[in-house]
Chains A and B, each alone.
Chain A
């Protein structure tokens, strides 16, 4: 059972990649990328988890209480912020692709047009 979170993370990564490869819609593609990225949250949070540890917030737990690693949690926050901005950027590009080429199907966007 101690491997389950990692297995889920690996699965999310590969399933997200499958979605990206087979995607027929740029918005769908951006959503698939968020699935890939969510696997990194899972890996980060899983590596920092301490058995029976509480959240690293000492507002209402004794100072000596066992808590999980705050560093990976901070990194996960960074990860989420970056993901949301990248998703927004990709969606903006999808809007522009629709305007320029009249299609959001990646297979129709093979040729570069200046």
Chain B
């Protein structure tokens, strides 16, 4: 009798662990990893100084050289975020987990464009455009988002 109960509890516990374990892992490590990466990005943005990007089409000054620049990033949500987001779509409203990841991806893509412009010696980037597209894995289960930022670098 005692042995049976212990076995039952053990088997329930194990099956719970198998079902919830990966999600729990994803929640804890996903949070730590994403927070760390976002902080690193924040430091990079701050260290960069004045923004050299603009969505205006006309250059602010006389131009001596120009060139096309582009930067991209592919971002995916974690298992945990995917689950929470999926549940949220049943009730509608703001899907915070996806929201945050997309904002982060866009910020990262813009920062890469800034750094690329500076590395190539351009003073400003005009006519900056942002493009978002969906990338699917071969089985179509996982969806990732690509953010592309592009513009024309100019040397004044």
A, B in one complex:
no
